Structure 1
């Protein structure tokens, strides 16, 4: 670690977190000790934190106070983590229906967040400073697994309006100090891809961070141009928010000359797991309990695939207890050769978003269209099908019939991105079926990027 990185990670960033009333530094230090504990000791820690969480939400969260009373559930009777199965699963619909009751009566500084909407069900929820501290610490710890730290040069290819819309003066100064360069992932035209490659070459980052689809798209473009990107000293490419396919991993690794580290989680569920240099997908067990359940919500044993359900233990102010991620995966009973005792996930089959192509040939991340729909409260579910350059269908499941103003808002939002001459047909449907594979695809483009 060079002197500049040491100053940023050891002095500037801790000061930054202290000013924001975050405990990220102390949490990360504790995690770097507990990651070497054996599974039995980690489970004891989980049980201690779980009991504390359940007692707290029973006392201060109206929704859970009522639910526990209705079920006759008593936190005092929780003797092991498996006793969580006595509680029902939590889904987005339940949170939306009880959003005010989900807030702790003791919460004072909750921040409002939205999911990205790639699941087709955008969700509004709230996060406390405690939750932020733990999520930052978990990501920070995983970065340090790769002998990298805050302050090392980083390129972030991202599409969330939370990040992209927050580039004010102070944020820009902070990013310069942290040596983080944010590139918007929405547009993937040839011109923009050329610019991405130029920026990456100019910055010479030690790490990349972004969607696997976006980084692999940039890698394909570099390959097509015959431009070498494996001589920049990039140590690792961190990817998250989508399923990482083997061909994407291979392409990113080959073009940029570095390993690819998969990350799994989300704004709602938290930082669930991250890949270490030895290939283990380690669960953030100090903060998150992961269950794999069948279609009826019953827990499955190690090795069997099912839906990933998480309980975030640092969410007493807006609880996520047995929260359904909608993703499919399995728990791995093996121990990682890196020596960490953190349990492992395998076969994560997270959702993906495709790219779409505008009339002028501009290639955009599917999230560019998803964000048009995500904040419309009437919309419960959706599917976007780009049939051709001149025709896109939008299937929408809504709580009530959409009014002309909302329909026009959707149409104009899509045309602003795809082209004013594109025909946008909005179909209000009762249900959107899954693909034959059982997976849902929320953005489907039937044309191929050039």
Structure 2
């Protein structure tokens, strides 16, 4: 580790987190010890934290206080992790209709967040400082598995307006100190991709971080140009927020000359699992309990595929207890060869997002249009279908119908991205249909990127 990285990781960032009243440094240090614990000791820690969480929500969270009374559940009666299955599942519809009731009466300084919407089912929710601290610690621990610490040069290819729209003076200064460079995934024209390659070569990052589709798109552009990118000393490319396909892993790894580490989670569910250098997809077990359930919500054993349901143990302020992710996964009973005691996810079938092409040929990440829809509380679900450069359809599901003003707002936002001459058809439907394969795709483009 270089002197600058040591100063940032050991001095500046801890002070920064203390100023924000975050405990991420202490949590990360604890996690780096507990990751080596045997299964029995980890289960004891998780059970203790689960009992504290359930005791708190029973007393201080109106939604759970009422629910526990209704079903005759008592936090004091929980004696094993399996007792968690006595509680009903939590989903986005329930959260939407109980946002205020899900806030702890002791919560202070809650931050409003959104899911990215790539699941076609956007959500507004809140998190507190404890949750933020634990999520930062989980990501930080995982990057250190790969020899990357806070303060090492980093390129982030991202599309969230939370990041892209918050580059004020203080944040820009912080990013410069942390040596983090943010590249917008929304626009990926050939000219922009050339600039991205130039910036990556200039920064010489130790880590790339972003959507697998975006990083593989940049990699394809480098290959097409004959631009060498494997001589920069990049240690790892962390990908998240979408399903990582084998061809993407191979292409990113080959072009950038580094291993690709998968990360699984979301703003709502937290950092559920990270991949270690030995290939194990380790669950953040100190914070998150993962269940695999069937269509009726019954728990499935190791090795069987089912929906991933998570309980985040650092969410007292706005609880996520038995939260349905909508993703399909398989738990692995075999330990990882790295020696960590953290349980493993063997298979994840996550979200998949296509690219879109504007009328002028600009290639952009599908989230560019998703973010126009995700913050509209009237819309419960959606699907974007780009039929051609001149025509895009937007299927929407709403409770009470969309007003003419809201339809025009959607059309205006889409035209600002795709081109003023593009026909935008907003169609209200009762449900979003699945693809013939049975999978759901929420951004579908029938236009091949140039």
Give TM class, smaller chain: over 0.9
SS in 2 for 1:432: coil
Is 1:290 matched up with 2:290?
yes
Distance in 2 (alpha carbons) for counterparts of 1:427 and 1:126: 30
- The CA distance in 2 between the partners of 1:372 and 1:207, in whole Å, is 30
Specify the alignment match of 1:193 in structure 2.
193
Give the aligned partner of residue 60 of structure 1. 60
Match of residue 401 from structure 2:
401
Alignment of 1:110-125 (within 5 A): 110-125=110-125
Equivalent residue, structure 1, for 2:168: 168
CA distance in 2 between partners of 1:254 and 1:108 (Å): 47
- How many Å separate the matches in 2 of 1:125 and 1:73? 25
User: What is the CA distance between 1:438 and its match in structure 2?
Assistant: 2.4
Matches within 5 A, 1:142-291: 142-291=142-291
- 1:297-446 superposed matches below 5 A: 297-446=297-446
What's the CA shift for 1:284?
Answer: 0.3
Taking the aligned partners of 1:203 and 1:76, their CA distance within structure 2 comes to 54
Shift of 1:432: 1.2
SS in 1 for 2:79: coil
The 3-state SS of whatever aligns with 1:105 is: coil
Deviation of 1:436 (Å): 2.5
For residues 314 and 239 of structure 1, what CA distance do their matches in structure 2 show? 24
Determine the C-alpha separation between the residues in 2 that align with 1:166 and 1:392: 29
TM superposition score normalised by structure 1: 0.99
Q: CA offsets, 1:55-86, max 9 Å, x none?
A: 00000000000000000001111111011110
Q: Which structure 1 residue ranges, 5 or more long, are not aligned? A: none
Aligned equivalent of 2:79: 79
Partner residue of 2:97?
97
CA distance in 1, matches of 2:279, 2:432: 36
Structure 2 unpaired stretches of 5+ = none
Deviations along 1:243-291, whole A, 9 cap, x unmatched?
0000000000000000000000011000100000000000000000000
- Identify the range of structure 1 (74-83 vs 1-10) with the bigger mean alpha-carbon deviation: 74-83
> CA-to-partner distance for each residue in 1:335-364, whole Å, 9 max, x for gaps?
000000000002101011110000110000
Q: Displacement of 1:372 after TM fit?
A: 1.0
How many angstroms apart in 1 are the aligned matches of 2:82 and 2:222? 49
> Aligned pairs, how many?
450
1:2-48 deviation digits (Å, cap 9, x = unpaired): 11100000000000000000000100000000000011111111100
Quote the Cα distance in structure 2 between the aligned partners of 1:39 and 1:159: 38
Q: Secondary structure in 1 aligned to 2:329?
A: strand
Q: Secondary structure at the match of 1:440?
A: coil
Q: CA deviation at 1:437?
A: 2.5
Report deviation, 1:415. 0.6
Structure 1 residues 292-333: Cα deviation after superposition (integer angstroms, max 9, x where no partner): 000110000001011000000000110000000001101000
Q: CA deviation at 1:414?
A: 0.6
Separation (CA, whole Å) in 2 of partners of 1:158 and 1:388: 25
CA RMSD of aligned residues (A): 0.6
Shift of 1:433: 1.6
Deviation at 1:147, TM superposition (A): 1.1
CA–CA distance in structure 2, aligned partners of residues 102 and 90 of structure 1 = 11
